[in-house]
Structure 1
Amino acid sequence: MGIREDAAQSRMKKKVEEALRSKMKAQALKECDPLVAKFAECAKGRLFSVVWACRAQSKETNACLHRYTNDEAFEKYKKQYEEQALQKL
């Protein structure tokens, strides 16, 4: 492979990883929807006070999202993608 092929491969890999991260984030939001809604309800009608008034809901939401969007979860997404790509061959 030449330099151009390597660059194209690298770009493609980046695009795939970006798509996988986007899919992972969407899944996390779906899984954590009740907590996100709870935080949104708390934040409704607030400006600056949301920081301290909704701290508990914010922490719960962030903890939930982190469960689904950490590096380990991303590696699982990549592995699943690679397995699916191999099955197509």
Structure 2
Amino acid sequence: METLSRREEETLMKVTKAKALKACDDVVREFANCATGRTVSVVWACREPHKMMQACIRQYTNSDNMERLRLEYVKLRRRDEEAIKG
């Protein structure tokens, strides 16, 4: 199986995280609102919103989903390379 370069892997992770943040906008906003104006107390005062945010983002960035995205990327890259060759 083909592997991704470090740059491709980083780009895939960055794009996936951005999509996750957008999809989880409500819980991210809830955590941000809780954390606003706090310093050390954010650790215990915002524990639940933080857990909810992490759980939501994890849906998109877990290892199974990332592997599926890697395979899709390799498949698309292979298709593009074949199209260029003609």
Where does structure 2 lack aligned partners over 5 or more consecutive residues? none
Give the alignment's Cα RMSD to 1 decimal: 1.5
What are the residue-to-residue correspondences of 1:1-89 with 2, within 5 Å? 13-88=5-80, 89=82
CA distance in 2, matches of 1:59, 1:87: 40
1:27-80 per-residue CA deviation (whole Å, 9 max, x = no partner) reads 111111110000000111111111111111000001111111111111111111
CA distance in 2, matches of 1:80, 1:59: 29
Give the match's secondary structure for 1:80: helix
Where does structure 1 lack aligned partners over 5 or more consecutive residues? 1-9
Give the structure-2-normalised TM-score: 0.83
1:87 CA displacement: 2.2
Aligned residues, how many? 79
Give the structure-1-normalised TM-score: 0.81
Poorly superposed stretches of 4+, deviation over 6 Å: none
